[in-house]
Each structure stands twice: as structure tokens, then as C-alpha cells.
């Protein structure tokens, strides 16, 4: 769909950015790298530093190497601490790299002005984060667990046969 949109609107920055972001985060990082090196595929309005970060992120994800991921995540956490990245941006990177420790660290930096955006926790790259014992307490802090408890509408993974814990039992232990 993004390729079709790019053919129709070849210089639309939002479409170009969307193609890079989708491939870097969830698709094929080598495609993101190709798009970043092709001057016609690079979105306008990005600084050299932003484009370099996309490149570094795609390279880290492509490597599959824990040491490379850790090096990139230390850069992300430094950018988060310096407020060059939002909590949400850091969470997307951490979950896309399958790094629960970095994800929970980023979430711990949430403030009322930079809250934890929970959406990325429910994408497939965040499987390890959801399986982590720290996940439901985090969902309690964000208000998501209270919503599930009150409405009886639980996330799909809470009913999956291979879930690592019983969401309702953990919620009860957390005082819901």
C-alpha cells in the first residue's frame, strides 16, 4: 500500500517517512536502508541527525546482534534523557528491537507532559515485553489494566493459550 501511495505521490514527505518507518520498525530493515540512501526516497524536512538515527536503527534491527542492539539502545536512552526523543519514540525503538529492559526503562521516564503511549505494546514486536512480569504493573500505572478490569474487555493475549501468566489473576493480586 505504501509503495502504491509512493507511486501516486512520489515526493510526499509523509508517505516517504511512512515507508522508511514501517520497514525499519516492522518490515525489512534492508529496504529502509535502501530508501534512506536513495535521494528520491528520502523525506524532506528531516535533519541529517534524524536520517542518521533511522539508519542506525535499521542497521541495529538488521543485525539481530544483542551487542549492536544494546549499543543502539544506550544511544536511545541518552536521547530520551536529553529530551531529544519522547517516551513514545524510545518505546517504539525498544519494542522493535525486542528489548524489554529498555522498554520498561523508557516507560519509567513518562511524565504528564510525555506519557507512556501504550499502543506499541500491543504490536507483535513487543511479545517479550508483554510476557515480562513488569508488564501488567505498568498497565496498571497507565490506567489500561483498570479499563480491562472494569469493562471485562481484556487484550487478546490475555486469552491466548500460550500466555505466560493469567492476566486476571495478576490484576487481582495488584488490587483490582
Considering the chain, what is the average pLDDT of its residues?
Answer: 90
Domain map of the chain by residue range? 2-129, 133-176
Q: Is the pTM of this model over 0.75?
A: yes
Q: Where does the pLDDT of residue 47 fall: very low under 50, low under 70, confident under 90, or very high at 90 and above?
A: confident
How many other CB atoms sit within 10 Å of the CB of residue 108? 12
Look at residue 134 in the predicted model and tell me its pLDDT. Answer: 96
Q: At 134, give phi and psi (nearest 5°).
A: -80, -10
Length of the chain: 176
3-state class (DSSP) for residue 111: strand
Q: With contact defined as beta carbons under 8 Å apart, do 154 and 148 qualify?
A: yes
Query: How does DSSP assign 5-57, residue by residue?
Result: HHHHSTT-HHHHHHHHHHHHHTS-HHHHHHHHH-TTTSPTT--HHHHHHHHHH
Per-residue pLDDT tens digits for 133-168: 999 999 999 999 999 999 999 999 899 999 999 999
Look at residue 173 in the predicted model and tell me its pLDDT. Answer: 96
Please give the span between the terminal C-alpha atoms of the chain, in angstroms, as a whole number.
42
Q: Where does the pLDDT of residue 14 fall: very low under 50, low under 70, confident under 90, or very high at 90 and above?
A: confident
3-state class (DSSP) for residue 152: coil
Amino acid at each position: 500500500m505504501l509503495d502504491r501511495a509512493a507511486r501516486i505521490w512520489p515526493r510526499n514527505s509523509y508517505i516517504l517517512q511512512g515507508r522508511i518507518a514501517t520497514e525499519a520498525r516492522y518490515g525489512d530493515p534492508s529496504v529502509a536502508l535502501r530508501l534512506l540512501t536513495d535521494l528520491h526516497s528520502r523525506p524532506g524536512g528531516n535533519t541529517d541527525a534524524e536520517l542518521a538515527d533511522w539508519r542506525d536503527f535499521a542497521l541495529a534491527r538488521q543485525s539481530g546482534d544483542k551487542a549492536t542492539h544494546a549499543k543502539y539502545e544506550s544511544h536511545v536512552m541518552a536521547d530520551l534523557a536529553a529530551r531529544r526523543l519522547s517516551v513514545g519514540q524510545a518505546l517504539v525503538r525498544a519494542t522493535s528491537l525486542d528489548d524489554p529492559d529498555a522498554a520498561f526503562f523508557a516507560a519509567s521516564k513518562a511524565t504528564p507532559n510525555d506519557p507512556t503511549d501504550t499502543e506499541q505494546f500491543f504490536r507483535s514486536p513487543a511479545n517479550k515485553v508483554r510476557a515480562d512480569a513488569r508488564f501488567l504493573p505498568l498497565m496498571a500505572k497507565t490506567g489500561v489494566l483498570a479499563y480491562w478490569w472494569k469493562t471485562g474487555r481484556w487484550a487478546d493475549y490475555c486469552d491466548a493459550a500460550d500466555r505466560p501468566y493469567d492476566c486476571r489473576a495478576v490484576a487481582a493480586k495488584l488490587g483490582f
